[in-house]
Amino acid sequence: MQDVHVLDKSAAGPGAPDGPRGVVNRRSLFDRQILRQAAVDSVRKLDPRVQIKNPVMFVVLIGTVVTLIESIAHPSVFTWLVTVWLALTVLFANFAEAMAEGRGKAQADTLRRTRTETDARRLAADGTEERVAAGDLTTGDVVVCEAGDVIPSDGEIVEGAASVDESAITGESAPTIRESGGDRSAVTGGTRVLSDRIVVRITAEPGQTFLDRMIHLVEGAKRQKTPNEIALAILLAALTIIFIPVVVTLQPMAGFFGTQVSVVILVALLVCLIPTTIGALLSAIGIAGMDRLVQRNVLAMSGRAVEAAGDVQTLLLDKTGTITLGNRMASAFHPVGDHNEADLAEAAQLASLADETPEGRSIVVLAKERCGLRERDLGPSHTFVPFTATTRMSGLDIADRCIRKGAADAVKRWVGEQGGTLPSELDPIVERVAKAGATPLVVADGPEVLGVIELKDVVKQGIAERFAELRAIGIRTVMITGDNPLTAAAIAQEAGVDDYLAEATPDRKMELIKAEQEGGKLVAMTGDGTNDAPALAQADVGVAMNTGTTAAKEAGNMVDLDSNPTKLIEVVEIGKQLLITRGALTTFSIANDIAKYFAIIPALFLTTFPQLHAYNVMGLHSPTSAVLSAVIFNALVIVALIPLALRGVRFRATGATAILRRNVLIYGVGGLIVPFIGIKVVDLILTALHAY
């Protein structure tokens, strides 16, 4: 493994919170370095072994060779111009793919330049340390890392805790805490230990670390075609095969009617009628879709996962951190009995002085805001009682007072043990707070219950609108939470989700995913813990958090380097944008071919059948001008559509019917109209230049 240094965090530019940080640098679509390399690669891709992977462009390449031979045997300006523009058609298709690949290769080269070899301190069976090269570590080896050391390979902490600088991977400068025995035990090779000492068990073989996979991903070295892409490629190949005999039969037909059609014109006709536009851009669309994910710090283990994200119909979203801000905040004091708000606030503040959780800090702040309570002199005789999972309470013992705050049932039981009685209004207040989607904490001073603190989950601003957009495109959202059903129902209603799963356990998550899939739906979810791994593996799109365990990252088919659960919504939108872009350009390509048919066919037989002049709706100058104009336009339209293929069609949160209608109107009708205009313009230019 290698040492990785921090990349330029400003690459994303201001105002781009979701841009690439650490992993990649955002590059301009027309970056000069990428353009130069793509131009070179487009020539290299003329290798027939490369071209045969794209049947449509392979046919164009063969046609170019045929016209080249014909141009040498029977030279003329027309035959040479057709040959040159057919060759440019292949080069432009190669250029589109090379542009998409070039962006990834540039990012991979940046990562490679930041790596240097490092050593590891491997623990032997007898506990002694030995220095070995990081590249010699294998799965199961145990290494020691201390402050200043680079973690040599991916692994899990089996002993200790440490502050780790992960900026080289995530781009975030703030260090993270990694520790053994929890859901934050995974460490990534190339990150640096800032403090303390940890013992790490290696979980990756040489060359298969997380960083290695990142490099392979962004450069597209191991990219495989997705099922939809393969299906579309087969369709395009079938259309090409159909048009070959159609064009070939034109020669004997022409002979039957006493006319001749040259081989060059037949090849030009074939190239213009087969779906060259989408055939040239298909690969670039898929590569660009993966690149858009990488730009948002999401690594997909395969193109299949990106494609599946576009077909997702059910989103499982954790409440905490995704729908809500993640920290419950004290929002109100509800006194009971003869006690007032000041009495409750004073006791709640005392019980929370040693509580360093966000909830505890918010109680102290609320007491200061509502009742002006500030610093307290507790004196020497006091004992803080920490929260435990067993007691589910915390508090303070001071002088002759024992103050407790915690879960309603736990505090009520404790009050009973103290010989106290419960106010009649306590249960209605607890139930009302829970129904409102908040968490009730009961406060007691010895045998007396003082009241209830309301801790409210704050729903993220704008999240309800995002869910409404998802609903508009046919995606069902389900909130997953460990809260009780009353609290879950209230938050679900406020957030605008379609359904919720309360008191969720790993088994219940798995059952929900299987139930959705049995109904024919594709499911996406996020997770970070080992207990999430089965559900992540079962989901069609499983996005694991980078801060999560190795088991979770191995089970998911995507990893979010920012560990932002909300990113799942963006992943789905990128997947849909990929599918929409592919569909839009396929529609344009097929409509485009229909228009070229009207340009060439009448021109071929115009001298034999003057009646066909009525179909020469563009008024093209001559048969040779018509053929050459169509060939030139066919090549130039590929170049014109490269930016759209790489950037993607703009995604809008509308239903499938609206998307289909928009594609048909813009790319279908546009695909019919644009070629008529484009071919006519080229014809006028050729006529003015006498270039045929």
- Residues 528-540: pLDDT tens digits? 777 788 888 899 9
Flag whether 243 is marked binding. no
Alpha helices in 74-136 (DSSP H): 77-113
The angle formed by the CA atoms of residues 209, 212 and 215, to the nearest 5 degrees, is 150
User: What is the number of other CB atoms lying within 10 angstroms of the CB of residue 327?
Assistant: 15
Average pLDDT on 29-55 reads 87
CA torsion sign, 217 to 221 to 227 to 229?
Answer: positive
Secondary element (H or E) of residue 213: helix 210-219
Q: Which amino acid is at 329?
A: M
Secondary element (H or E) of residue 524: strand 523-527
Average pLDDT on 8-23 reads 36
Flag whether 314 is marked binding. no
At residue 556, the pLDDT reads 85
At residue 293, the pLDDT reads 82
At residue 232, the pLDDT reads 85
Residue predicted with more confidence, 288 or 280: 280
CA torsion sign, 637 to 641 to 643 to 646?
Answer: negative
At residue 12, the pLDDT reads 34
Average pLDDT on 440-450 reads 93
At residue 223, the pLDDT reads 55
Flag whether 391 is marked binding. yes
Mean pLDDT is lowest, of 50-64, 138-152, 307-321, for 307-321
Average pLDDT on 341-350 reads 91
d(CA 498, CA 318): 14
Q: Is the pLDDT of residue 388 over 90?
A: no
Q: Which amino acid is at 382?
A: H
Residue 24 pLDDT class (50, 70, 90 cuts) = very low
Which tokens in the block code for residue 432? 């009302």
At residue 246, the pLDDT reads 81
Buried b or exposed e, range 156-186, using 16+ CB within 10 angstroms: bbeebbbebbbbbbbbbeebbebebeebbbb
In percent, how much of the chain has pLDDT > 90?
24
Flag whether 355 is marked binding. yes
User: What is the number of other CB atoms lying within 10 angstroms of the CB of residue 385?
Assistant: 18
Q: What is the DSSP letter of 324?
A: B
The angle formed by the CA atoms of residues 424, 425 and 428, to the nearest 5 degrees, is 115
Q: Mapping DSSP to helix (H, G, I), strand (E, B) and coil, where does residue 581 land?
A: helix
Q: Hey, which residues are catalytic here?
A: 318
Flag whether 532 is marked binding. yes
At residue 601, the pLDDT reads 73
Q: Chain-wide mean pLDDT for the chain?
A: 82
Flag whether 167 is marked binding. no
At residue 27, the pLDDT reads 56
Q: Is the pLDDT of residue 106 over 70?
A: no
Span 450-469, pLDDT tens digits: 999 998 877 888 888 888 88
Question: pTM surpassing 0.75?
Answer: no
At residue 104, the pLDDT reads 66
Flag whether 377 is marked binding. no
Span 250-278, pLDDT tens digits: 778 767 767 777 889 889 989 988 999 99
Residue corresponding to tokens 């030279």: 75
At residue 64, the pLDDT reads 96
Average pLDDT on 155-166 reads 87
Cα–Cα distances (Å) from 203 to 18, 109, 634, in that order, read: 30, 25, 52
Average pLDDT on 90-101 reads 90
Cβ contacts of 414-421, under 8 Å, gap ≥ 24: 414/444, 415/444, 415/447, 415/448, 415/449, 418/444, 418/446, 418/447, 419/447, 420/444, 420/446, 420/447, 420/448, 420/449, 421/447
Flag whether 388 is marked binding. yes
At residue 607, the pLDDT reads 66
Flag whether 324 is marked binding. no
Span 222-239, pLDDT tens digits: 456 677 778 888 888 888
Q: Mapping DSSP to helix (H, G, I), strand (E, B) and coil, where does residue 526 land?
A: strand
At residue 276, the pLDDT reads 92
Q: Is the pLDDT of residue 394 over 60?
A: yes
At residue 152, the pLDDT reads 87
Contact 479, 488 (CB under 8 A): yes
Average pLDDT on 658-686 reads 88
CA torsion sign, 497 to 498 to 502 to 504?
Answer: negative
Average pLDDT on 541-547 reads 83
Buried b or exposed e, range 331-344, using 16+ CB within 10 angstroms: bbbbbbbebebebb
Contact 65, 121 (CB under 8 A): no
At residue 311, the pLDDT reads 87
Residue predicted with more confidence, 319 or 115: 319
Q: Mapping DSSP to helix (H, G, I), strand (E, B) and coil, where does residue 123 land?
A: strand
At residue 245, the pLDDT reads 87
For residues 457, 460, 461 and 465, what is the CA-based torsion angle, rounded to 10 degrees?
-120
Average pLDDT on 596-611 reads 71
Q: Is the pLDDT of residue 513 over 60?
A: yes
Secondary element (H or E) of residue 444: strand 438-445
